[in-house]
Amino acid sequence: MVDSHRVSLERVLVLNRIWQPIATVVVKQALTLVFRQRARVVCPESYQMFDWANWLSDKAVRSDAHVIEHDYIRTAHLQVRKPEVITLAKYAGYPNTGVPYSRRGVFERDNGQCQYCGVYVHKRAMTIDHVLPVSRGGGTNWTNCVLACQRCNHSKSDRTPGEASMALAQEPVQPTRDQLILSGVNMHESWKAFINERHVKVKL
């Protein structure tokens, strides 16, 4: 099921200098990074890299030219093809180690769904359920915390899922960076080359 209200605006995949995914940004941010020479566009078909001048000379057309509008962004005189992937010029670090625990991360990992009843939860109404309750020594970490709606969290109370007869949709695990980067984002076909699909529920 495609949950359209959770799919954010069109995003551009950001790779570090050695082409590992580290984030997504909106199209305008991506173009700004390229314009400031902090990143280059990776052509979705050829995987060639383009700086700003080359992208404009190769992938921009006059504003009155006939194009598939969805694929282009308009400036005063030009229509510039939207990038799908950019690669940073300097950053070569590899961040895919030990993603720190966060509430937001739990929300993303659990795809915005209550892990007991499956309902989609608004970020502002989200609660974190400790699978093993804190009062019984349960920790606040990736493997003991799940996203829950207020109703389920309230009715589970200070019990384990077994005691409350409430089954978890899945065992909570430490997510990979790719999972958190891509959760709730509309993926482009061209991203597949850069993403470890074993770690990600690919929505194409």
Contact footprint for Zn ion (CB under 5 A):
114, 116-117, 149, 152
Instruction: Find the shortest distance in angstroms from Cβ 150 to Zn ion.
Output: 8
CB 168 within 8 A of CB 116: yes
CB of 110 to Zn ion, least distance (A): 11
CB nearer Zn ion, residue 43 or residue 148: 148
Residues contacting residue 139 through CB under 8 Å, at least 6 positions apart? 130
Quick one: CA dihedral 195, 198, 200, 176, positive or negative?
A: negative
CB of 54 or CB of 127, closer to Zn ion = 127
Q: How many CB atoms lie within 10 A of CB 112?
A: 19
Helix (H) or strand (E) holding 42: strand 39-42
Identity of the residue, 64 or 171, whose beta carbon is nearer to Zn ion in the bound complex: 171
- Name which of 108 and 178 has its Cβ closer to Zn ion: 108
Give least dist CB 43 to Zn ion, A: 44
CB of 5 to Zn ion, least distance (A): 17
Among 40, 38, 82, residue whose Cα is nearest residue 59? 82
